Structure 1
Amino acid sequence: MRVLIKANMDTDRGNEAIRTGKMPEIVQGALERIKPEAAYFGPLDGCRSMLLVVDIPDSSQIVPTLDPLFSDLGARLEVTPIMNLDDLKKGLSQLQ
């Protein structure tokens, strides 16, 4: 299932990662483990944030997929199921 992950980083942990120069390493490591289809970065809800589009084929993969965001960044997460255009067309065709 394709999901949109909104990750708001903990401000104190983010500040510390920036002070120590580890923020690029932490973000790159998380992205390598998560393997998003797309990744965007910016301020959301007053926090340093990431928006990631991720395909999670099995619900048991939610734990290892999201854990780097919790453990490395102290992030608050929102996970929302999403569809691309092909998924939407397929779903709509089942309504007829």
Structure 2
Amino acid sequence: MKMIVSVTLPVEPFNSLQREGKVGELMGRIMEDIKPESVYFTENAGCRAALMVVEVADASMVPKIAEPWYLNFEADCEFRLAMSMDDLIKADLNQLAKKWS
């Protein structure tokens, strides 16, 4: 299943790691390990941030995705399941409406 991962990187330790020339290497290793389908860099609440789409087999993959960010950047990570249009069609919303209305 697809998961959208939002990573918010606080100013510190990011700035210190950047000054030490370590950010590029760390992020490269993290991306190589996680292998996101896509990643976009942005800001969140005034901090550096990344949004990634990753394929996960089950919930046990969450620590593999989160721990590198937590341990290296003291980041905040949020996880959201993502559905495609096909997934939404499979959910059969009409049947659910009948059952629960």
The sequence identity of aligned pairs, in percent, is 30
SS of alignment partner, residue 95 of structure 2:
coil
SS of alignment partner, residue 66 of structure 2:
helix
Look up the match of 1:37. Answer: 37
What are the ranges of 5 or more consecutive residues in structure 2 without an aligned counterpart? Answer: 97-101
SS of alignment partner, residue 36 of structure 2:
coil
Tell me, yes or no, if the aligned pair for 1:5 and 1:52 is still in contact at 8 Å.
yes
Look up the match of 1:81. Answer: 81
What are the ranges of 5 or more consecutive residues in structure 1 without an aligned counterpart? Answer: none
Offset at 1:95? 3.4
Tell me, yes or no, if the aligned pair for 1:34 and 1:66 is still in contact at 8 Å.
no
Q: How many residue pairs are counted as aligned between the two chains?
A: 96
Give the superposed CA RMSD. 1.7
Look up the match of 1:49. Answer: 49
Which entry has the higher C-alpha Rg, 1 or 2?
A: 2
Residues 19-50 of structure 1 show CA distances to partners (whole Å, capped at 9, x for unaligned) of 11111111111111111111000112111000
Tell me, yes or no, if the aligned pair for 1:3 and 1:79 is still in contact at 8 Å.
yes
Offset at 1:85? 2.4
